[in-house]
Amino acid sequence: MNNNQHTAIQAPTMISGARKSWTVMRIWMSISVFIVRKYKSPARFIKIVRRVRQIKKRHNVAGAFKKVAYVDGRIYLSPYNNGWPTRNFNRAVDIEARKAINDPVGNLEQLNTVMIALTKKCPLNCEHCYEGPELNKKDTLTLDDHKKILKKLQNVGIPLIQYGGGDPMAKVNDMVELLKSSDGSSDIWISTSGFNFSKENARRLKDAGLTGLSISLDHHEAEEHNKFRRNEKAFDWAMEAAQHAKEVGLVINMSICLTREYTTKENLQSYLELSARIGASFIQLVEPRAVGNYAGKDVYLRSEHIDIAEQFFVETNADKSNNHLPIVFYPGYHQRKSGCPGAGSKYLYIDTDGYMSSCPFCRNKKTHILEDNTTESSIEVMRNEGCEIFEKYN
């Protein structure tokens, strides 16, 4: 299968212009109603609004975003925000509201996103894999362990949970069972290469409650992607996964590991356009780190590549002529501007054995997530250590 055979797939629904303004206004109105109902007193309301404004200002991007994504009845602002309206959409605001009025907030409960490595199994061995040395060893966590982890996270209200690996699709039956055991309070995503994402599996996962699919695609050309992923089927898997995800109404985020060679404006534009054709709502630009299969290698982007990626991120999202294309999401931009939200600030990684780390790249292994009496202190240590590369997020 080549790129052109996928051009018939419909573009995602992106909302822009007056409809986008009206949608965003409705979201802010619903947040305001939530704050007023929960916190009642005008003095508290003012404190909370001040804090929310400060945070918004800190994360503001020049020119702002001109669109939002609409998928299966919900609005999505990024792959790291819950769909609106959902039960846990206001969760992030609520945590900041509690901080604004000095209500004590636990280290685990304040997180927005937890990524859990479901399995060490994966049919690939990609050039950059951060779990490379662990791949295809025997899994130590059982389905029952994973159910306990999910329950623990949902009991404190974690709004967004991502399953990665290995490849979670190598254990699709467990993934379906886990989704069925969810209490429905979190948006749950899977990160995959596209392996085993057949139409039937897409339907099973959607019916069990899956929200979105993050598909790894590292080049817009099949041959180059397959070389990077060291498997001649990898590109077709990614394309077919997107097609099936779109057919069943999952949110699609295409995720690329930016190499120095790939980071040109032309390549990024081709990537964006391919992602639009296969139905993605987001593309995510991830910078390589010298961990896993890249350990000890000189893979970090240089300033000229970062400049290209930042310019592409800002200009593409702000340019009205791109309103029909997916939203570009670039965590590195925000990490440089506002500090890293990983390291137990807003994000936590649970590895294939159940141990907590700051993120898949900062592997400062802490205690096991199911050791209840050390969870809070481990996250506290992580927060104090901060990120190895970026400033701390406060």
Give the number of other Cβ atoms within 10 Å of residue 106's Cβ. 13
Give the number of other Cβ atoms within 10 Å of residue 281's Cβ. 28
Judged by CB under 6 A, does residue 166 bind ligand SF4? Answer: yes
Among 94, 134, 139, 167, binds ligand SF4 (CB under 6 A): 167
DSSP secondary structure string for all residues of 232-261: TTHHHHHHHHHHHHHHHT-EEEEEEE--TT
Q: At its nearest, how many Å lie between ligand SF4 and the CB of residue 333?
A: 22
Judged by CB under 6 A, does residue 287 bind ligand SF4? Answer: no
- Which residues does residue 212 pair with via DSSP β-bridges, in sequence order? 189, 251
The CA-atom distances, in angstroms, between 259 and each of 90, 262, 267, 285 are: 36, 5, 11, 10
Judged by CB under 6 A, does residue 131 bind ligand SF4? Answer: yes
DSSP secondary structure string for all residues of 281-314: SEEEEE---SSGGGTTS--PPPHHHHHHHHHHHH
Q: Which is nearer to ligand SF4, 75 or 135 (CB)?
A: 135
**Is the alpha carbon torsion for 59, 215, 190, 345 positive or negative?**
negative
Q: At its nearest, how many Å lie between ligand SF4 and the CB of residue 83?
A: 25
Q: Which is nearer to ligand SF4, 91 or 225 (CB)?
A: 225
Place of tokens 């509690």: 98
Closest by CA position to 84, among listed 20, 168, 7, 156 = 20
CB 116 within 8 A of CB 166: no
Rounded to a whole number, what is the largest CA-CA distance in the chain? 61
Q: Which is nearer to ligand SF4, 255 or 317 (CB)?
A: 255
Q: At its nearest, how many Å lie between ligand SF4 and the CB of residue 145?
A: 19
Q: At its nearest, how many Å lie between ligand SF4 and the CB of residue 62?
A: 33
Question: How many residues bind to ligand SF4 according to rule CB under 6 A?
Answer: 11
Q: What is the dihedral of CA 190, 173, 85, 89, to 10 degrees?
A: -60
Judged by CB under 6 A, does residue 218 bind ligand SF4? Answer: no
Site string for ligand SF4, 88-127 (x = CB under 6 A): ----------------------------------x-xxx-
Among 79, 165, 168, 331, binds ligand SF4 (CB under 6 A): 165
* Alpha-carbon span 351 to 183, nearest angstrom: 23
Q: Which is nearer to ligand SF4, 67 or 220 (CB)?
A: 220
Site string for ligand SF4, 171-210 (x = CB under 6 A): ----------------------x-----------------
Contacts of 10 (CB under 8 A, 6+ apart): 246, 279
CB 146 within 8 A of CB 172: no
Using the contact rule CB under 6 A, the part of the chain among 3-11, 163-171, 241-249, 324-332 near ligand SF4 is 163-171
Give the number of other Cβ atoms within 10 Å of residue 280's Cβ. 29
Using the contact rule CB under 6 A, the part of the chain among 128-136, 306-314, 343-351, 366-374 near ligand SF4 is 128-136
Q: Which is nearer to ligand SF4, 14 or 215 (CB)?
A: 215
How many residues are recorded in the chain?
Answer: 394
Q: What is the dihedral of CA 174, 186, 255, 309, to 10 degrees?
A: -160
Q: At its nearest, how many Å lie between ligand SF4 and the CB of residue 347?
A: 18
Q: Which is nearer to ligand SF4, 115 or 379 (CB)?
A: 115
Among 129, 175, 210, 215, binds ligand SF4 (CB under 6 A): 129
Q: Which is nearer to ligand SF4, 131 or 236 (CB)?
A: 131
Using the contact rule CB under 6 A, the part of the chain among 146-154, 162-170, 305-313, 326-334 near ligand SF4 is 162-170
Judged by CB under 6 A, does residue 279 bind ligand SF4? Answer: no
Name the residues that contact ligand SF4, by CB under 6 A. Answer: 122, 124-126, 129, 131, 135, 165-167, 193
